[in-house]
Amino acid sequence: MMATTVGQQQLVAARAAFAEGDVQSLAMLPLPLQQSWQRSHAAGVRPDQEPYYPPLQGNGHHLESRDDRRLARCVQPELEQLWSAFGARGWTMFCANREGMVIVHRAHGLEDAPLLRPIQVGRRLGEAEIGTTAPAVSLADDMPALVRGNEHYLQRFAPVFCLSEPLHDLQGQVCGAIDITGLGERDPALLQGYFRQAALAIENRLMHTLSDAHLLAVQHDPRWLASPLQGLLAVQEDGQLLAANRVARRLLGLPRRGPLPLLSLDTLFAGASAAQRRRLLQPGPAHRVRLGEGSAVHLQHLQAPRAARTRSPAMAAAPVQAAPLRDQQRDAARRAARAADGNLSLAARQLGISRTTLYRLLRE
């Protein structure tokens, strides 16, 4: 539910006090929003001004950056799935790149929503232009963000709800954010679960674009392989680790963000037997690999480097493609419920979603 009327009135008073230089008035905001208000103020944005939307970059259809085009291709399938579930009149969903420029966009009925109508591909939506928004916070702080009502720095955005989830590139750095924005109110816990799953699926698609590397899927529970919850490793032909997605970094104790240390598969899986290590870069079904004392993962070889596929007909199969998001979510929900022996509260916590979301997926 939207914050109480009293809370919204307090935020209006806090905004007015902050505009007069009272920094203590920010105390009622979450820390990330406090920092965003301060950045907006430092950029010269006034709370009482109209939002400034800079001109579109390009013609609004063609993306000049190769990185933007690649990210847009990976985002599009998940955004379509999210829109089919949560799209509505007066709402928009989009993906912004690391600079806050919209690169993918879906909307309906914005002709009646002048506040949101300027959100288009090629438009920059940064704090220096329109103040505090959920995607701006996600991009700045690498975290899911929710901004609604008078939590916005610009008072003109008081009717607006927006929620976003950051996206990470092949080096674990924030490369964009997916967002839902509209006039009204939504269930944040429900949306956050779906948007988190979509972000993981998008990042997995980015990993699949590394055509000149081996791609390995890894998970403690093999039932989560081929889902957004699988870890992915990109490995060079010589066995050196090239990239790892967020899940794999967490599973294997790698740095959460930034370039990876120089590691080989032999070092990474030092607890594995010689026979297990020989199978790491060979196609076949998932197999169990020891990490260390009392710990193991299940690993599956998904794709070989393009050159190796060209040389060997046995490895010429197309890379494994991720299933549609909704199917992945349903499968992951069923696997988690079975793994938790029917304890749906535990299963929901393991998946990072609410019990309501888990119940809905299981019913489907």
CB atoms within 10 A of CB 237: 13
Same domain? 32 vs 63: yes
What does pTM read for this prediction?
Answer: 0.80
Same domain? 199 vs 298: no
99 lies in a domain?
Answer: yes
pLDDT of residue 192: 95
Domains contained in the chain, number: 3
67 lies in a domain?
Answer: yes
Same domain? 168 vs 217: no
pLDDT of residue 315: 42
Give the β-pairing of 287-292 and 102-108: unpaired
Same domain? 112 vs 136: yes
pLDDT of residue 157: 95
Strand partners, 231: 218
Strand partners, 107: 92
Alpha-carbon span 338 to 115, nearest angstrom = 46
Contact assessment for residue 306 and residue 211, using Cβ atoms and an 8 Å cutoff? yes
Contact assessment for residue 126 and residue 54, using Cβ atoms and an 8 Å cutoff? no
- Answer whether residue 261 shows pLDDT above 50: yes
84 lies in a domain?
Answer: yes
320 lies in a domain?
Answer: no
Does residue 244 sit in helix, strand or coil? Answer: strand
pLDDT tens readout for residues 227-247: 899 999 999 988 999 999 999
Contact assessment for residue 33 and residue 103, using Cβ atoms and an 8 Å cutoff? no
What range does the domain containing 258 cover? 212-315
- Stretch 49-53: mean pLDDT: 91
- Stretch 194-218: mean pLDDT: 94
Same domain? 72 vs 196: yes
Return the sign of the alpha-carbon dihedral for residues 34, 36, 37, 38.
positive
pLDDT tens readout for residues 327-354: 777 777 777 776 666 777 777 766 667 7
Q: Which of 148, 181, 207 is the last residue of a domain?
A: 207
Same domain? 185 vs 169: yes
Same domain? 247 vs 356: no
Q: Which residue has the tokens 């847009």?
A: 72
Distance of alpha carbon 248 from the chain centroid: 15
Same domain? 32 vs 157: yes
